[in-house]
Structure 1
Amino acid sequence: MKAIDLFAGAGGFSTGAKMAGIDVVWAANHWPAAVAIHAQNHPDAAHACQDLHQANWQDVPAHDLLMASPCCQGHSKARGKANGNPQHDASRSTAWAVVSAAEYHRPAFAVVENVPEFTRWALYPAWCAAMDALGYALTPMIVDAADHGAPQHRERLFIVAARAKHPIMLDLPKRLHVPARTIIDFDAGKWQPIEKPGRAAATLRRVHAGRRAHGDRFVMPYYGGGSGLTGRCLSRPLGTITTRDRWGVVDGDRTRMLTAQECRAAMGFPEDYILPAAHRDAVHMLGNAVCPPAARDVITSMLAAA
C-alpha cells in the first residue's frame, strides 16, 4: 500500500505509516527546514515544499492512503482567536487541502490528525459533508498516545475516512503505559543548580511542592496548568510535548529542561531519527508532530477492519 503525507512536518505520520508497513511515496510541507528533515529520514519519498492551498494534485503520485495533519493552531485552546493568533483563519483553512487532494485522487482511505477542538470548528460540519460527497464515511476518535506505547499523554483527534457506505469500526489496542523515567538520561543535558541568583520564585515553589509529592527526582512544567503546582512522578508518562521547551527535570539540587533527544523519545520516534541541529527547531518540529506509535496503531487497525 502507498501513502502520501500532507503537512508532513518532522515526519511523525510517515514514520507511523512505515511502522505499519506502508510505503510513503510523497510528502509536503511549507517549511523548508521541515521538508529537509523529512527528506533525510524518508529518502525514498518524493518531497514538495509549498503551500498546499496551491498544490497541483496531478503532480502527486497515485496512492491508497492520504495522511494529513492540517495546521492546528487556529483550533487549539492555546493559540485560538481569543489569544490573538494572527494566522487563526488561514490556519483553519488548511483542512480544505485534504478535501481537494481526496477529490482528485480518490484514495481508498484517508487519515486526518488534529487537536480535539477541530470538531468545534464552525465549518467542521461542512468539511465532513464535503468528504461525504466524495464517498467517504468518517470515523472520528480521540486517541491518547500514552495508550499506544509513547511515554507521554497526548490526546489528539484522528479521523479515519474510508470509501464505503458506512464508517468502519476500529478495534484499537490499548498498550501498557511507558513511564517517563525510561526516556530521561540523568547523565545528559545542561544541568543548573536550583538555588541560584535570579531563579523565579514560582519555579522554586514548584520544585519544593514536587519534592514533597515525589521525592528528589521528578519532572515539572515551566508554564501552564496541569502538573504545574506539584510536578509529575517519573513512574507516569510525561504530559504533552509542546513546540517550545516545557518539561524540566529535577534531580536533587539540580535541574534542566528535557533534551531534544528525550523529546524525540517521548514522541515515540526511533532513536536514530535525525533531528535539526538547533535545539529550538528540533523541539518545535517534535511538538507539532504526529506521534508515530499512535499513527501506527490507527493505520494498522484501519487496515484490519477494512
Structure 2
Amino acid sequence: MSHTIVDLFAGCGGLSKGFELAGFDVVAAYENWDSAIACYNLNFNHSAKQLDLNDVDAAVQEIAPMKPTAIIGGPPCQDFSHAGKRIEAGRAGLTESYANIIQQIRPRCFVMENVARAQSSHAYAVAREIFKTAGYGLTEQVLTASFCGVPQSRKRFFCIGALGEPDGFLDSRLLGKLSDREMTIRDYLGDELGTEYYYRHPRNYSRRAIYSIDEPAPTMRGVNRPIPKGYPGHPKDACSVNDSVRPLSTYERARIQTFPADYRWIGSKTDQEQMIGNAVPVNLGKYVAEALLDYLNGSIDNEQIANIESFRSWLKQEKKLASRSISDVISRLKRVNQFLELSDDADIDLYSMRLGRIDAFASQSPSVRSHLKRAAKLYLEFAQHTRALSES
C-alpha cells in the first residue's frame, strides 16, 4: 500500500529525501524561498511550489484534494534556535499556521520537526493544543542525529501525530532502533574528506573550532567561514592550527548532512550554505520515516478494518459504552493489531493463543494484555454480527 506525503516548508529537500528513501510516496512540496525551490526541483520527480503558508485557507485549498496519508514539515526555526534572536514573533507564527493546516485537512499522520528548544516555546504550546483538539495522539521526542545514522551531533525535536492514537504511540518504534553509539564522520564517509581534522567557525572564541573525523561533527550551520588569521586556538580543539587543517567545503557539509553524493545544488555559495544548514539531515528524516512507516504498515485504518464508524456505533448501541470507553477500545484495537494483524474472520481463541507467544505482547502488564484482548474480542464479535446481517 502506498503512503503519500506532502512536505511543507520543504527547503532544499532533506526531509522529503529521507521519507522517499524510507519508501513513502512524496507527491508535493511547498516552500517560499526561490533558491530552495529551484534546488528541490533538480532532485525530485515531483515539483515543489512556492506558497506562503501563512495563508492557511490557500494552503488547505491546494493540499486537501491530494488526501495525503501524512503531512510533514519544519516551520522556520530561527526564532527558536540558538542562532536566532530567540524572539517568538512573525516567523514563529508559521508553527501555528502549520497546526491549523493539519487541523483542517486532518491527514492520518503528521510530522513536525524543529530545533530542540522549540518544545518549550509558547508557539509550540499553541500548536500542540490545536493538534490535541483535532484528535491527534502525539509522540514528542528530541533526537540526536548521531544516534540515527548521521555523523553529526545535531539535536532536533519531532512532534509526530496520528489520529485517534494515545500520546506516545510511536515512542517504542522511534527509540527502539537508536544506535548504541554515536556515528563519526569516519564511520560514514571513511577517508572521503582527505583530512583528519577540520575547522568549523565558532560563534565565539570561548568555543572550540577544530574537530576530528573520529567524532560526530557539530551541527552544520548556515554559515561557513575560513580560518581567521587571528584564531587563538582553544584547549578542547582536536589539534592546533596547521597546514592540514581547513574548513569543510560546501559539498562536504552537504555530505555530513547525509545528502546523497549525486544530490544537485544550485544558487550562490551563500544560498547553498544556508540551504544545507537549514536542512533536516536526510538520514535523520529517513530514521523517523521508517518508524512511522512501520507503524502505518502494522496499524489498522479504514481500509484494513471496514466500517470503523459502524463499529463505533455498534459499541455505543449494542454494548452501551460511553464515548471515552469507545475511544479506548478503538485505540487498543489498533495497538493489538501492531502485535499481530487481526482479520475479520479470525478465531478469538486461536488469535489469543498466538498473541501470547509474542514476546513484546507477553511483556505487557496483565491489565494491558487483558484490555487488548477484550478490544480484539469486541471487534470480532462486531464482525460476526455484521456478517450475519449481510447473510440474512
Aligned mates of 1:17, 1:59 — CA distance in 2 = 21
Which residue matches 2:170?
169
Instruction: Name the one with the larger helix percent.
Output: 2
Give the aligned length: 272
State whether residues 198 and 245 of structure 2, in contact with CA within 8 Å, keep that contact through their aligned partners in structure 1: no
Q: Which has the higher contact order (CA 8 A, sep 6+)?
A: 1
Gaps (5+ residues) in structure 2?
Answer: 228-238, 300-392
Instruction: Name the one with the larger strand percent.
Output: 1
Q: Alpha-carbon deviation of 1:221?
A: 2.6
Does 2:206 correspond to 1:220? no
Q: Alpha-carbon deviation of 1:186?
A: 5.1
Aligned mates of 1:106, 1:12 — CA distance in 2 = 24
Give the AA of the match of 2:219.
T
Query: 1:239-260, CA deviations, whole angstroms, 9 ceiling, x for partnerless residues?
Result: 1000011686988424432111
> What secondary structure does 2:198 align onto?
strand
TM-score calculated relative to the size of structure 2: 0.64
**CA, structure 1 residues 246+23, in 2 after alignment: closer, same or farther (shift >3 Å)?**
farther
Q: Alpha-carbon deviation of 1:233?
A: 2.1
Instruction: List, as ranges, runs of 4+ consecutive aligned residues in structure 1 with deviation greater than 4 Å.
Output: 183-187, 246-252
Q: Alpha-carbon deviation of 1:226?
A: 9.6
> What secondary structure does 2:30 align onto?
strand
**CA, structure 1 residues 139+9, in 2 after alignment: closer, same or farther (shift >3 Å)?**
same
Does 2:19 correspond to 1:17? yes
Aligned mates of 1:90, 1:110 — CA distance in 2 = 23
- Identity across the alignment (%): 25
State whether residues 219 and 247 of structure 1, in contact with CA within 8 Å, keep that contact through their aligned partners in structure 2: no
Which residue matches 1:256?
246
**Further displaced range: 28-37 or 231-240:** 231-240
Give the AA of the match of 1:174.
L
> What secondary structure does 1:275 align onto?
coil
- The correspondence of residues 133-282 of structure 1 with structure 2, limited to 5 A, is 133-167=133-167, 168-170=169-171, 171-172=173-174, 173-175=177-179, 177-181=182-186, 182=189, 185=192, 217-224=196-203, 228-229=207-208, 231-245=210-224, 252-282=242-272
Which residue matches 1:111?
111
**CA, structure 1 residues 67+156, in 2 after alignment: closer, same or farther (shift >3 Å)?**
same
Gaps (5+ residues) in structure 1?
Answer: 83-87, 188-215
Give the AA of the match of 2:51.
Q
Larger radius of gyration: 2
> What secondary structure does 1:53 align onto?
coil
Aligned mates of 2:165, 2:209 — CA distance in 1 = 49
Q: Alpha-carbon deviation of 1:81?
A: 3.9
> What secondary structure does 1:114 align onto?
strand
Which residue matches 1:197?
none
Query: 1:162-203, CA deviations, whole angstroms, 9 ceiling, x for partnerless residues?
Result: 10240213323223543224366456xxxxxxxxxxxxxxxx
> What secondary structure does 1:56 align onto?
helix
Does 2:40 correspond to 1:38? yes
